[in-house]
Structure 1
Amino acid sequence: MAVESITVRYFAGARAAAGVPEDFAPAGLCLDDLAAELSARRGERLGTVLKAASFLVDGVACHDRQSALPGGATVDVLPPFAGG
């Protein structure tokens, strides 16, 4: 039986910090655990971005960082944007 996964897509500064456009992680992690796993995988530069980032789960803003992410979900990582 295959383990379900989630797709993580990085945008703007998050993509630059990760060094890749997307990652995959096991389903069932919450956003806090996902951020810890991605930081361990990609480095502290990404970890710093993830602390300030916003997350969309299947296109919907997610503010509950403790809810388990379902298999097949897509998580978009949106760093804070500067501009006027």
Structure 2
Amino acid sequence: MDPTSTGTPLVVRYFAAARAAAGVPEETVPGGHSLDHLADELAVRHGARLGTVLEMASFLVDGVAWHDRQAPLPPGATVDVLPPFAGG
């Protein structure tokens, strides 16, 4: 992550294919950024496979669907990464 970030840390929780691609169920990352910036940094950290999942994923921020990928994430938030699920 950006070493100059001064935001309160975020918790990122991965589910299904996102968990498999990240190789961890959750992690703490520096805050102070938008969802797009966070996704870019996570892809750099974990590789292209996670980057592909993040492009298709939905996100919950503190349990609420987050659609504005440019808005700053709330300090100390929990971000859930939800890839598209198969099945019915």
Aligned match of 2:22: 18
Which region of structure 1 is more displaced relative to structure 2, 60-69 or 22-31? 22-31
Aligned match of 2:41: 37
Unaligned stretches of 5+ residues in structure 2:
1-5
Q: Does 1:5 align with 2:9?
A: yes
Give the one of 54, 68, 84 matched to 1:80. 84
**Fraction of identical pairs, as percent:** 70
Q: Do 2:35 and 2:73's aligned partners in 1 also have CA atoms closer than 8 Å?
A: yes
Unaligned stretches of 5+ residues in structure 1:
none
* Deviations 1:21-57 (CA, angstroms, capped at 9, x unpaired): 1122211110100000000000000000000000000
* Deviations 1:36-84 (CA, angstroms, capped at 9, x unpaired): 0000000000000000000000000000000111221000000000102
Q: Does 1:55 align with 2:59?
A: yes
C-alpha deviation, 1:3, in angstroms: 5.4
Q: What SS is found at the alignment partner of 2:72? A: coil
**TM-score, with length taken from structure 2:** 0.89
Which consecutive segments of 4 or more residues in structure 1 shift more than 4 A?
none
How well do the aligned residues superpose, as a CA RMSD in angstroms? Answer: 1.2
| Equivalent-residue separation in structure 1 for 2:11 and 2:83 (angstroms) | 17
**TM-score, with length taken from structure 1:** 0.93
